[in-house]
């Protein structure tokens, strides 16, 4: 276990599990079992999470995973305890605290999407996923920090200051959902929600040693998720274990008539799929494709593609473990993936420029008055003051890419690349059951290292973007600590559209093999705490 906690900051998170109370350290499934057995109350679990937040989240050098805390978390927890005491049959995660990415609308808390332009804005409704959390009896703790409008890979583009990685507080926790991932890794919350447009669930999970799942496009409602790029956005779980992700996905997923892209068919239980992965022989006969263009070839090819040596090493060791357990590893090629980042950074800004047009100083949030000015002057002044540099960069790029005369050359070409990427997936899934890549090319980089270099930042999404372009599901689970820096690395699995359950089974099976090989979970060994 690495002992790098950064300079001057209080030791937190995985580096100092002894500081974490037993209750705050429990995985959601273990906590849920204790709640159901009456061994602990939801109020106690909520108090433990809030105490941990108070201990590590604030102040100079604090984690800063949270932008807002729920005022009524204790009352919510007490109400669940009362229902349980009255003998009511509650859902499997009832009483478990949960952190919510600030991109999701919440009736009782501000929803800023990390932007100044929405500072203090309290939505008039809950996102469907948030409403489902409440119905299932989960206890919202607060809203988590993120890159402004989910644009970024480090959480440094938040208008409210960066989140720090609990493994090393001088480093980024990934992005855009760094707050949710850091909250889990620092034991501030047992469950969190994220959103993933190009990797914002999976890459933060990878660099914090947690689990992140981007469902099939249309598998989880986007109603009330502040849109970045509507054809790419998906809401999903961020957790410490694959089973916890399955449990949370079961709560938030499924058809929502309020989202026109929501898939109407029923889904299997993802918690059951994860439990199936924990059974003997779950990987026998599974065909796993490694992608030559994404770390699946030789170490030299991987280095040329931008992968850190230790990340590749842990990736291949994980595959070896799977092979020992009966999986077959097959190399496949996805030649169009090379163009994924380029296509994404045309499609995303195009959709974002259109989605962000609604922040017009009239309908939502901030308004900068311009005495004697026209309505256009007020809009311009508001957007100038309310948006940060990355948002402006993308709005300008997207508006340009969509303008008459350039539409076919840029947006049109990018959409054709998108089709080619989908065909690469189809060809690969004709040969294999799942595809595997490292979840991100490197471990967590340092705060400040890439924030002024947009292209370097964009390259971090190398492995995650293709899944969004094709709408396929992807999960990231910890693959180990990279030997050169002692920081977490992740392995990603992808499956065909609607085969999310397969990812839970495969993820849980590998997780079990890895945890056994490490002698305990990567985020400290919970049972030995306290």
User: Which of 176, 336, 361, 479 is an active site residue?
Assistant: 176
To the query of whether residue 101 is one of the catalytic residues in this protein, the response is: yes
Distance CA 391, CA 147 (A): 10
Query: Nearest distance from residue 163's CB to ligand GLN, in Å?
Result: 14
Query: Nearest distance from residue 478's CB to ligand GLN, in Å?
Result: 19
- Determine contact, residues 104/68, Cβ cutoff 8 Å: no
The residues binding ligand GLN (CB under 6 A) are 150-153, 175-176, 196-200, 228, 348, 461
To the query of whether residue 42 is one of the catalytic residues in this protein, the response is: no
Distance CA 284, CA 174 (A): 33
CB closer to ligand GLN out of 44 and 351: 351
CB closer to ligand GLN out of 12 and 201: 201
CB closer to ligand GLN out of 170 and 196: 196
- Determine contact, residues 217/96, Cβ cutoff 8 Å: no
DSSP structure class, residue 144: E
Pairing between β-strand 234-239 and β-strand 211-214 as defined by DSSP bridges:
antiparallel
| Selection from 28, 26, 268 nearest residue 138 by Cα | 28
Could you tell me which residues are beta bridge partners of residue 478? 490
CB closer to ligand GLN out of 166 and 175: 175
Distance CA 285, CA 296 (A): 20
CA-CA-CA-CA torsion sign (51, 163, 70, 201): negative
User: Which of 41, 42, 101, 153 is an active site residue?
Assistant: 101
Sequence-distant (≥ 6) Cβ neighbours of residue 523 within 8 angstroms: 13, 14, 17, 184, 185, 187, 209, 210, 240
CB closer to ligand GLN out of 73 and 232: 232
Query: Nearest distance from residue 182's CB to ligand GLN, in Å?
Result: 16
**Please, what is the Cα angle at 151 between 435 and 211, to 5 degrees?**
40
| Selection from 233, 88, 83, 68 nearest residue 140 by Cα | 68
CB closer to ligand GLN out of 27 and 102: 102
To the query of whether residue 176 is one of the catalytic residues in this protein, the response is: yes
Query: Nearest distance from residue 103's CB to ligand GLN, in Å?
Result: 8
* Count, residues in the chain: 530
DSSP secondary structure, 445-495, as one string: -BTTSSTT-HHHHHHTTTTTHHHHHHT--EEEEEEEE-TTT--EEEEEEE-
DSSP secondary structure, 345-364, as one string: HHHHHHHHHHHGGG-SSSSS
CB closer to ligand GLN out of 200 and 437: 200
Query: Nearest distance from residue 236's CB to ligand GLN, in Å?
Result: 11
> Is the link from the previous residue into 176 a cis peptide, with omega within 30 of 0?
yes
398-406 CB contacts, 8 Å cutoff, 24+ apart? 398/348, 398/349, 398/350, 398/351, 398/352, 398/353, 398/354, 399/353, 401/346, 401/349, 401/350, 402/350, 402/353, 402/354
User: Which of 41, 158, 200, 439 is an active site residue?
Assistant: 200
Distance CA 45, CA 93 (A): 12
Query: Nearest distance from residue 68's CB to ligand GLN, in Å?
Result: 20
Query: Nearest distance from residue 503's CB to ligand GLN, in Å?
Result: 18
Query: Nearest distance from residue 494's CB to ligand GLN, in Å?
Result: 15
Distance CA 514, CA 506 (A): 12
Query: Nearest distance from residue 234's CB to ligand GLN, in Å?
Result: 9
Pairing between β-strand 328-332 and β-strand 66-69 as defined by DSSP bridges:
unpaired
CB closer to ligand GLN out of 190 and 199: 199
CB closer to ligand GLN out of 99 and 348: 348
Could you tell me which residues are beta bridge partners of residue 239? 191, 211
Catalytic residues: 101, 176, 200
């Amino acid at each position: 276990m690495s002992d790098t906690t950064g300079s001057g900051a209080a030791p937190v998170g995985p580096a100092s599990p002894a500081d974490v109370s037993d209750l705050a350290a429990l995985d959601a499934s273990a906590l849920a079992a204790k709640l159901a057995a009456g061994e602990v109350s939801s109020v106690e679990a909520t108090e433990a999470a809030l105490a941990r937040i108070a201990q590590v989240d604030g102040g100079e050098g604090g984690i800063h995973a949270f932008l807002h805390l729920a005022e009524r978390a204790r009352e919510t927890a007490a109400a669940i305890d009362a229902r349980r005491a009255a003998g009511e049959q509650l859902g499997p995660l009832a009483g478990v605290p949960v952190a919510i990415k600030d991109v999701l609308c919440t009736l009782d808390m501000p929803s800023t999407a990390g932007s100044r332009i929405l500072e203090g804005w309290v939505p008039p409704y809950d996102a469907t996923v948030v409403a489902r959390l409440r119905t299932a009896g989960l206890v919202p703790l607060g809203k988590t920090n993120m890159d402004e409008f989910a644009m970024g890979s480090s959480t440094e583009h938040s208008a409210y200051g960066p989140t720090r990685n609990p493994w090393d507080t001088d480093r980024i926790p990934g992005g855009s959902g760094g707050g949710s991932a850091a909250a889990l890794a620092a034991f501030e919350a047992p469950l969190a929600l994220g959103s993933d447009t190009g990797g914002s669930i999976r890459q933060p999970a990878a660099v914090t040693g947690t689990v992140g799942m981007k469902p099939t496009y249309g598998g989880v409602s986007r109603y009330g998720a502040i849109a970045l790029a509507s054809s790419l956005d998906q809401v999903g779980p961020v957790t410490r274990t694959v089973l916890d992700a399955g449990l949370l996905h079961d709560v938030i997923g499924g058809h929502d008539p309020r989202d026109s892209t929501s898939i109407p068919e029923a889904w299997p239980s993802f918690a059951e799929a994860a439990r199936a992965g924990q059974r003997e022989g779950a990987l026998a006969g599974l065909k796993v494709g490694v992608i030559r263009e994404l770390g699946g070839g030789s170490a030299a090819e991987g280095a040329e593609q931008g992968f850190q040596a230790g990340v590749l090493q842990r990736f291949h060791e994980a595959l070896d473990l799977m092979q020992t357990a009966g999986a077959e590893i097959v190399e496949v090629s996805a030649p169009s993936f090379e163009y994924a980042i380029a296509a994404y950074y045309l499609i995303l800004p195009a959709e974002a420029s259109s989605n962000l047009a609604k922040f017009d100083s009239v309908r939502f949030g901030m308004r900068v008055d311009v005495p004697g000015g026209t309505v256009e002057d007020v809009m311009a002044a508001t957007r100038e003051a309310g948006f940060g540099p990355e948002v402006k960069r993308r709005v300008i790029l997207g508006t340009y890419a969509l303008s008459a005369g350039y539409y076919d050359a840029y947006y049109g070409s990018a959409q054709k690349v998108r089709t080619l990427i989908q065909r690469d997936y189809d060809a690969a899934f004709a040969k294999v059951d799942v595809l595997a890549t490292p979840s991100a090319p490197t471990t967590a980089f340092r705060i400040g290292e890439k924030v002024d270099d947009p292209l370097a930042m964009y390259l971090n999404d190398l492995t995650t973007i293709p899944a969004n372009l094709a709408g396929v599901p992807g999960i990231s689970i910890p693959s180990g600590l990279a030997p050169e820096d002692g920081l977490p690395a992740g392995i990603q699995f992808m499956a065909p559209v609607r085969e999310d359950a397969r990812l839970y089974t495969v993820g849980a099976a590998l997780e079990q093999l890895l945890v056994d090989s490490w002698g305990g979970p990567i985020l400290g060994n919970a049972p030995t705490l306290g």
